[in-house]
Structures are given as structure tokens and as C-alpha cells.
Amino acid sequence: MAATWADHQHVILDQAADTPLTLGEFVGLLTEAGEPITRRRIQTLVDRHGLPREQVVRWHQRGHDRVLAEVSVYRLRDVRHLQAQIDRG
């Protein structure tokens, strides 16, 4: 039996488990993969459940300029693991 599109998406998410992503990148990636999450939900995981985050410096486009800015990033593995723990109760 051939793998479904959802199966492929979950394999990709598993392979990207340690990828550091910004809040916006998380929302887009998980929503596209069929695991929708909101910015508010991720912030709640940080504030109430101790989701770890790191501060990194990345390039951003501001108007016509590219600038370096410090942003918070989260690991996909941490978000999915914490969310699963909460869902289990």
C-alpha cells in the first residue's frame, strides 16, 4: 500500500524535529502539515508550560533593507512533545 500525503508530511515533520523555527514559521509549517496551531497557542506553551526557546540573530527584510534582528526560535520536537503531553492530560 502506498503512503498517503499525510504520511509523507509526518515523515518530513519527524525529520525536521530539531529545526529551529520562529513563531510564524511554526504556524505555517504545522498548519500546512495538518496540525494547525496558532501563535497564541505557542505563546501559551511558553508562558504556562515552559516551552523552551532560544534567541538567535537572523536576517529580516524591513522595507527595502535587510537587517539583522534577534528573534526567538522554538524546536519542532519540543512543541509537538509538549502539546502531546497536554493533550494526554
CA angle centred on 52, ends 50 and 54, rounded to 5°: 145
Contact 26, 42 (CB under 8 A): yes
Number of domains in the chain: 1
pTM here?
0.73
CA dist 47 → 18, 26, 62, 67 (Å): 21, 17, 28, 28
Q: How confident is the model at residue 17 (pLDDT cuts 50, 70, 90)?
A: confident
Q: How confident is the model at residue 89 (pLDDT cuts 50, 70, 90)?
A: confident
Phi, psi of 31 (to 5 degrees): -65, -45
| pLDDT digit string, tens, across residues 30-61 | 888 888 889 999 999 999 999 999 999 999 88
Tell me which H or E stretch contains 21: strand 20-21
Checking if the pLDDT of 88 tops 90, the result is no
In a domain, 21, yes or no: yes
| Mean pLDDT for the stretch of residues 21-38 | 86
pLDDT at res. 86: 86
In a domain, 74, yes or no: yes
In a domain, 2, yes or no: no
Q: How confident is the model at residue 74 (pLDDT cuts 50, 70, 90)?
A: very high
Contact 9, 34 (CB under 8 A): yes
In a domain, 73, yes or no: yes
In a domain, 83, yes or no: yes
